[in-house]
Every structure is written in C-alpha cells, then in structure tokens.
C-alpha cells in the first residue's frame, strides 16, 4: 500500500489541460522533492519531472510540476493522444528510508 | 547514448534464489546511483533497492530487506540484485534504473526490464 495517493484516473479531450494530484505526508513530500514518471503501455517508465518542477531535456514544456506542503501536482497542457499513459509521482520518505511511488493515475484522451 | 540492459530473470520456486544483472553503458557508471524498481503484473511501480555511486551505501524496501542484496562492480559497469527466499509476491518485471546524481533517486534512464516469476 503506497504512502503517496493519486486519483486512479483522469481524462480530457485533445488540447485540454489535465492535472494529477499526489498527496503525501511530512516524511515524504513535505520534506523531500517530488518526481513524476510517465509509463506508456508495455514500456519502461520515463522521467517527466524531477525536483518538484524540473524537466529533463527532451520533455515538452506542456508538462509541469508543482508542490505545496504535503501535496504535489502534475499538469499536462495541450493534451495530446500520445499522452495517454499511466503517471506516477515519487519521493524519498525519511521514515521508511526509501523511495516511494504513488498509486498511479491512468490518463485517457477522449 | 546511455543504455541499461537487464538479465537473469526467469522462473524460480518459492524459497529459491535468482541473481539479476544490469549492464550499463554510455555514461560514467561510478558517478551515479543505481536502483531496482519492480512492477507486479497489472500493478503499479514499487521501489526495491538503491546503491550510491560514491560510498556504495545501500537502501532497501521493507518488503525485501534481509532477502535481497544490491551490489555494483565498477570494473564491469554492472549492478546486481541477489534475490533469496523468493516469495510468490516477488513476481514482477524488475527494472534497472540510473539515478540523476551520485546519490539521487530520480531515475532518468531505465532498462527494458526482466521478468521474474516465482511459482512452484
């Protein structure tokens, strides 16, 4: 059972903005940075956002991350069909002394 | 180009052992933390273990502590995961992942994964 909670699903039409939340606690999001991963069907995860709001090279600026207190969010603007995937937040947890992933959110492009 | 290639997966009996390997190329292996992340069939991602690039400090998820051992060989640019006392719930695709720094846990490169099935 993950300590980071995400909504199981989110959806939008092409061009819309979709936001995914990630709720944690003081031992993880509240005291460490948050990362976000995208996993397309049948493939390995891909790093989308690290250190709360930094994009690795090659990640479109349509993807953005933010954090406030013990919660974080991933926003996808200008939603495209290729964004249909599972999205996971993650953070180090000081109490568990380990890296924890969120429960995952499946994004559907209608 | 950074590449990670896992091997060693397969079928193991409950209580058995397997050793996974991950061969790295395209980057200075010793400068980065390396980790293993697994994904059970139809389930989400679960961090398993990490090893720092500098001091070889290791970290484990509670679910594998005492049963799994992570190690790295800088002469072979390879990270290993020795798995013992395997349980049905260890069945998963195991991904090798590279940290963005020597101690960092954000993973910017992943292998294709190797499937471990624990069954009698």
Rg of the Cα atoms in chain B: 13
CB contact under 8 A, B106 and A88: no
Calpha distance A103→B1 (Å, rounded): 31
Distance of residue A50 Cα from the nearest chain B Cα, in angstroms: 6
CB contact under 8 A, A47 and B60: no
Residues of chain B contacting residue A4, judged by C-beta atoms under 8 Å apart: none
> A43-58: per-residue pLDDT in tens?
999 999 999 999 999 9
Strands (E) in chain B, as ranges, are: 3-7, 10-12, 18-25, 34-39, 45-51, 58-60, 68-73, 78-83, 92-99, 107-110, 114-118
**Quick one: pLDDT band at residue A1, thresholds 50, 70, 90?**
low
Mean pLDDT of A1-12: 92
Which residue from B58, B76, B44 is spatially nearest to A103, judged by alpha carbons? B44
Distance of residue B119 Cα from the nearest chain A Cα, in angstroms: 23
Give the pLDDT of residue B92.
98
Q: Is B37 on the interface with A (CB under 8 A)?
A: yes
Chain B residue at shortest CA distance from A103: B44
Calpha distance B69→A53 (Å, rounded): 33
A40, pLDDT greater than 80: yes
Q: Please say whether the beta carbons of A93 and B50 come within 8 A.
A: no
Burial string for A43-82 (b: 16+ CB within 10 Å, else e) reads ebbbbbbbebeebeeebeeebbbebeebbbbbebeebeee
CB contact under 8 A, A2 and B59: no
Give the pLDDT of residue A108.
97
Distance of residue B74 Cα from the nearest chain A Cα, in angstroms: 24
DSSP string, B12-42: E-TT--EEEEEEEESS-GGGS-EEEEEE-TT
Instruction: Please classify residue A110 by burial: count the beta carbons closer than 10 Å to its beta carbon, then call 0-12 exposed, 13-18 middle and 19+ buried.
Output: exposed
> A15-28: per-residue pLDDT in tens?
999 999 999 999 99
Q: Is B106 on the interface with A (CB under 8 A)?
A: yes
Which residue from A44, A73, A49 is spatially nearest to B96, judged by alpha carbons? A44
Give the pLDDT of residue B102.
76
Calpha distance B96→A2 (Å, rounded): 20
Residues of chain A contacting residue B110, judged by C-beta atoms under 8 Å apart: 44-46
Distance of residue B3 Cα from the nearest chain A Cα, in angstroms: 13
CB atoms within 10 A of CB A24: 25
Residues of chain A contacting residue B112, judged by C-beta atoms under 8 Å apart: 44
Mean pLDDT of A79-84: 97
Give me chain A's average pLDDT, please. Answer: 96
Question: In terms of residues, how long is chain A?
Answer: 110
Give the pLDDT of residue A93.
96
Strand A34-39 and strand A85-93: pairing?
antiparallel
A82, pLDDT greater than 90: yes
Q: Residues of chain B whose pLDDT is less than 50?
A: none
Least confident stretch, A2-11, A88-97, B99-108 = B99-108
């Amino acid at each position: 059972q993950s300590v980071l909670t995400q909504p199981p699903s989110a959806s939008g039409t092409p061009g819309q903005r979709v936001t995914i939340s990630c709720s944690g606690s003081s031992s993880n999001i509240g005291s460490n940075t948050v990362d976000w991963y995208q996993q397309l069907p049948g493939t390995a995860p891909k790093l989308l956002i690290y250190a709360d709001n930094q994009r690795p090279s090659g990640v479109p600026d349509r993807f953005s991350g933010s954090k406030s207190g013990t919660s974080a969010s991933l926003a996808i603007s200008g939603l495209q069909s290729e964004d249909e995937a599972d999205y996971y937040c993650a953070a180090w947890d000081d109490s568990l002394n380990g890296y924890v992933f969120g429960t995952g959110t499946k994004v559907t492009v209608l | 180009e950074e590449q990670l290639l896992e091997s060693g997966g397969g079928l193991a009996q409950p209580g058995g052992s397997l050793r996974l390997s991950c061969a790295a190329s395209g980057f200075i292996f010793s400068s980065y933390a390396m980790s293993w992340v697994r994904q059970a069939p139809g389930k989400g991602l679960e961090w398993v273990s990490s090893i720092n690039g500098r001091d070889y400090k290791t970290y484990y998820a509670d679910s594998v502590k005492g049963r799994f051992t992570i190690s790295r060989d800088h002469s072979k640019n390879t990270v290993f995961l020795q798995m013992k006392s395997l349980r049905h719930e260890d069945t998963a695709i195991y991904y090798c992942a590279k940290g963005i720094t020597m101690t960092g846990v954000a993973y910017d490169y992943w292998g294709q994964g190797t499937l471990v099935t624990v069954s009698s």
